[in-house]
Structure 1
Amino acid sequence: MTKIAVTGVTGNLGGMVSRLCKENGIKVRNLARNKEKAEKMGFSDVFKSNYDKSEDTVKSLEGIDVLFMVSGSENPNCVQQHKDFIDVAKIAGVSHIIYLSFYNASKNSVFTLGRDHYATEEYIKENSFKYTFLRDNFYADFFVNLCREYGEIKGPAGNGKVSVVVRSDVSEVAAKILENPEKWENQVLNMTGPEDLTMEEITKLASKYLGKEIKYIAETVDEAYESRKIWKAEQWEYDSWVSTYTAIAQNEQSGVSDDIEKVLGRKANSLAEYFRKL
């Protein structure tokens, strides 16, 4: 029987995937940095695991065939941490990595963290794993949360478009793939919503469904860096926040894929559908 491990179960997406697998009768080993927290959240068969080469991490992957790997928490050493974890997976005999990557990831991605995802994808391939890359676009949930919390979206996105994807759709795709991982070996699947939207269109929908006026404020790149100084952060964080919008401005996040439908047999949820379910 194929042995499956799911990382990051105390996080949003990893947790959703693990729960869906359980509902669907797929047995998984749950990996978490904080074992106690994961157990308190109701997960069983939990192993302590970090994106490193520690003894705990080595043990957590022993006997595993298929690994669902969410990207690690954003930090400047993210790629090295991913590589350490992938090295351990290789030693442990993992044969197939399903990695949650990023839409249009490349070494020259405008969105700075997209470059980290590309480097991780390349390392997985270099190490001769069978792979499935789920390339997420920006989450609809992220923009909706901005609208609810701040009553506006502001950034240098211009009139660029983004095919935002609903996070729960991505978790359903991952869980479905884990039912029959072999079917999806050595494939790149693009996780997008069913439509391209500008920031103006997103805020218009938000205004309609949230029942209050939500504005899009177009900033220059300089203004965007300046306005984000109200949060104390490191330079790489400011770069990632601002490049979320410059990537959209350059239409790097536009384009609609039917890969979600290919896996689930139904269309991806639109932003309006997501709002209706809130």
Structure 2
Amino acid sequence: MIAITGATGHLGQATIQALLTQVPASEIIAVVRDPQKAAALQAQGVQVRPGDYNDQASLTAAFAGADKVLLISTVETELELRRQQHLNAIEAAKQAGVAHLIYTSVVNPSAESPFVASPGHAATEADLRASGLSYTIFRNTLYLDLLPGLIGESTLPSGKYHSAAGKGKVSYALRSEIGEALANAMTSSGHENQVYDIAPAPAYSMRDVAQTLSEVSGQPVEYVAISNDDLKAALRQHHLPEPVVELLAGMTQAMEQDEFNLDSPAFEQLLGRKPTNLQQFLASVYGK
């Protein structure tokens, strides 16, 4: 059986839907904080069990009988709390007798990264290696799905795309396809103690994004470089909470520093086909 934490989140749901094409629903355990929010999964025959990242005992019970656990990283931004939540899941997997744990990390995890999620991933990877569990680490790049939010509603009407990412490039991946790759890895062998960079070529700068957006929409879009301070000010003008401002500004700074600029064949190999690229994705959202 395969247990999946954060099962009602976007990546969790994508992974489960991919798994349902490969294994019986009864062999999938959706671990969720609020089982009522997983009624649709339960209706598909998936086992739904309560489990809270902050409650190790609940996770141990939720993982009972599972051979593999997919630990989808939490959304907690405070480093030590995030690390403890992941540690709770790792220890629960050990106590439940789980044979293999798959963890969703980030490309180039580092304690020095300006991207606030990165230090927590680096710490959890170290904890996982020290746990004695067999593991697979998916180091995910940024989602293509994030781009509409970064582009915003005013870009096409104004014809200007403002970004503080400079000349930095990003290798994007579609979240649903990462879910497929995870499902493929969990239903096949040979992934023990492997680290996969989920970062397909080519990588794109934000100027490339603006140019591609112009091509698929049929409307001219000019790239306008701004500073990170200008970005923070604009985000605050939209009344975003300060932790979100710092998250987005830090992510953009990491983009500018090329932290997401990788070229790995792992994603295509795990997916079994060429992944969706920038032009295909933007055309599906903004195409004429």
TM over 0.5: yes
Q: What's 1:25 paired with?
A: 23
Distance 2:108 2:55 in 1: 29
Does 2:200 align with 1:198? no
Residue identity in the other structure for 1:166: L
Asked whether the equivalents of residues 144 and 206 of structure 1 are also in contact (C-alpha less than 8 Å), the reply is no
Let me know the Cα RMSD of the aligned residues. 2.0
Question: TM-score, with normalisation over the residues of structure 2?
Answer: 0.88
Query: How many matched pairs?
Result: 274
1:118 aligns with 2:122: yes
Match of 1:270 in 2: 277
1:93 paired with 2:97, answer yes
Residues 38-71 of structure 1: per-residue CA shift (max 9 Å, x gap):
1145453100111122543221011222101111
Q: Is the 8 A contact 2:57 2:92 kept in 1?
A: no
Equivalent residue number for residue 168 of structure 1: 176
Residue 192 of structure 1 contacts residue 256 of structure 1 at CA under 8 Å; is this kept in 2? Answer: yes
2:230 to 204, 220, 223: 223
Shift of 1:5: 0.6
Secondary structure in 2 matching 1:142: helix
Unaligned runs of 5+ in 2: none
Contact 2:69 2:100 in 1 (8 A): yes
1: CA distance, partners of 2:221 / 2:68: 43
1:157 aligns with 2:174: no
Secondary structure in 2 aligned to 1:50? coil
1:90 is paired with a residue whose SS is helix
1:122, distance to aligned residue in structure 2 (A): 1.0
157-166 or 257-266, which deviates more: 257-266
| Whole-angstrom distance in 2 between the partners of 1:272 and 1:193 | 14
Q: Is the contact made by 2:67 and 2:100 (CA closer than 8 Å) also made in structure 1? A: yes
Distance 1:32 1:153, change over 3 A: farther
Q: 1:189 aligns with which of 196, 204, 227?
A: 196
**CA deviation after TM superposition for structure 1 residue 211, in Å:** 4.0
Corresponding residue for residue 108 of structure 2: 104
Superposition pairs of residues 107-146 of structure 1, within 5 angstroms = 107-146=111-150
